[in-house]
Amino acid sequence: MRVFAIAEHRMGELNPTSIELLNLANAIKKESSEAVILGKDVKGFADELAKYADKVWVIQDDSLEFFNPETYVDVLMQFFANNKPDIVLLPNTSFGIELAPLLAVKLNAPVATDVVGVDVSDGVKVSKYIFQGKLMVDLKLREAESYVLAIRQGVFKEGSEVGGSVEEISLKPSEPKRKFVQYIEPEVGEVDITQADILVTVGRGIDDASNIELAEELAELLGGVVAGSRPVIDNGWLPKDRQIGISGKTVKPKLYLGLAVSGAFQHVMGMKDSELIIAINKDPEAPIFGVAHYGIVGDIFEVVPELVEQLSKLKG
């Protein structure tokens, strides 16, 4: 079984999820794990990929400088004509999500996206999220010569080095119908919650925009910044770039302090790897206590002013 991982890179950086794809490829391969990287001046990434792949294929051409699904699929199909894939792995990113269905159609292959588990012991079975992450499902894909799977980021982080070889080949795409024009960077907010060591995170229980001040006071005393759960952002109490969770940002601070956050799955996915998690919630059954290292069952409007007072005293 030849398992191919299509590496993603953008603006001169290799997306680390490319290595995660290879970790999965190594776990399920029967023959080889192979990385394919397309682009202009991408040979530099090959050595890093080769640590985790039996073979790395480098396809360089000026016309592949910017990702264009049409040109990438064109070149990949030329490549696969001589290297039949059993499984093609892509990251479940905007890059992979655009490529996966196009490739699947060309290869006449079953396709599954947002995959978090793959079992090849009896055909190809996948576990994936559906209904925007609310439910998980196990699927058996119909028997086929090739399969295309888009893999969720952050799931296959563990793997060992393989130490493979690198081969460069030359392939050219035909003229695409659409052309890359420019990158437009999103406006960066003044606070980057992904870089903060201490996050005081407010949930819906903060009740009103005017109460955010309380969290800000605590964050300032701790030397941290304020983030929020989705309802807080949806209510306009904090800007969008402060949202933690699957539709917000993934954070890994030294301290995550949750104030009236229930700990819904979609939120926890974005903060569960924080080094220290402390939660304050008046409901002892709140799921956040399931991931917290320490918890206080109490009303934030009583506990937080007390914390602020004690910290202020400590700071003199």
Footprint of ligand FAD (CB under 6 A): 132-133, 203-205, 229-231, 243-248, 260-262, 264, 266-267, 270, 280-283, 286, 299-301
| Cα 263 to Cα 228: distance, rounded to the nearest angstrom | 12
User: Nearest 5°: phi and psi at 151?
Assistant: -105, 130
Starting at the earlier edge strand, list the strands of the sheet with 2-6: 135-140, 125-130, 111-119, 147-151, 87-91, 2-6, 32-39, 55-60, 165-169
Return the residue nearest ligand FAD (CB atom): 245
Helices 43-50 and 17-28 sit at what angle, rounded to 10 degrees? 40
Q: How far is the CB of 290 from ligand FAD (least distance, A)?
A: 12
Considering the complex, state which of residue 246 and residue 277 has its C-beta at the smaller distance from ligand FAD: 246
The nearer residue to ligand FAD, 11 or 135, going by C-beta atoms, is 135
What is the smallest separation between the CB atom of 51 and ligand FAD, expressed in angstroms? 33
Q: At 312, which helix (H) or strand (E)?
A: helix 300-315
Task: Name the minimum Å distance from CB 217 to ligand FAD.
Answer: 16
Q: How far is the CB of 239 from ligand FAD (least distance, A)?
A: 14
Q: How far is the CB of 304 from ligand FAD (least distance, A)?
A: 9
Q: Which is nearer to ligand FAD, 68 or 229 (CB)?
A: 229
* Residue number with CB closer to ligand FAD (111 or 246): 246
Q: Which is nearer to ligand FAD, 113 or 243 (CB)?
A: 243
Exposed/middle/buried for residue 50 (C-beta within 10 Å: 0-12, 13-18, 19+): buried
Query: Could you give the 3-state DSSP secondary structure of residue 206?
Result: helix
Minimum CB–partner distance for residue 313 and ligand FAD (Å) = 23
d(CA 182, CA 18) in angstroms, rounded, equals 24
Q: Which is nearer to ligand FAD, 42 or 193 (CB)?
A: 193
